[in-house]
Amino acid sequence: MVEKINAEKFDELLKGEKPVVCDFYATWCGPCKMLAPVMDKVSEKFEDALFVKVDVDENMELAARYGVMSIPYVAVFKNGELAGKTLGYMTEGEAEAFVKENL
C-alpha cells in the first residue's frame, strides 16, 4: 500500500537508506485516481523501496521544489537525489519497468 505523506515526512524519508518512489497527485485528477491502484500493486513487488504519495494541493512547496507542473508525476529518489521521473498515467507493466529502471 502506498502511504500518503506530507512534505515534512517526505524530507525525513529522503534521509533514509531506502529509495523513495513518490506519486505526486491531486484528489481531483482523473488520471491520478487511475494510477493509484497501479502504484499499490507495483509497491508490492519492490520491498527494497518506500512507496509514498503526496497531494500537490496540500504540499505546494514540495511540488514547486521538484518542478511538478502536471500530474500524475512519479519520481524516484535515491540517496536523497532525484534519480528518475515520469509524467502521466502508466499501466502496471510500464510503472514496474520505470521503477526497476530507476532503483
Q: Count structural domains, the chain.
A: 1
Q: Helix, strand or coil for residue 48?
A: coil
Catalytic residue chosen out of the listed positions 21, 32, 56, 76: 32
Tell me: the pLDDT tens digits for 23-42?
Answer: 999 999 999 999 999 999 99
Mark whether 29 is an active-site residue. yes
Q: Is 32 noted as a catalytic residue in this protein?
A: yes
pTM of the model: 0.96
Q: Output the domain CATH number for residue 12.
A: 3.40.30.10
Select which of 5, 20, 22, 29 is catalytic.
29
Q: For the segment 54-102, what is each residue's pLDDT rounded down to a tens digit? A: 999 999 999 999 999 999 999 999 999 999 999 999 999 999 999 999 9
Residue 52: which domain range? 3-102
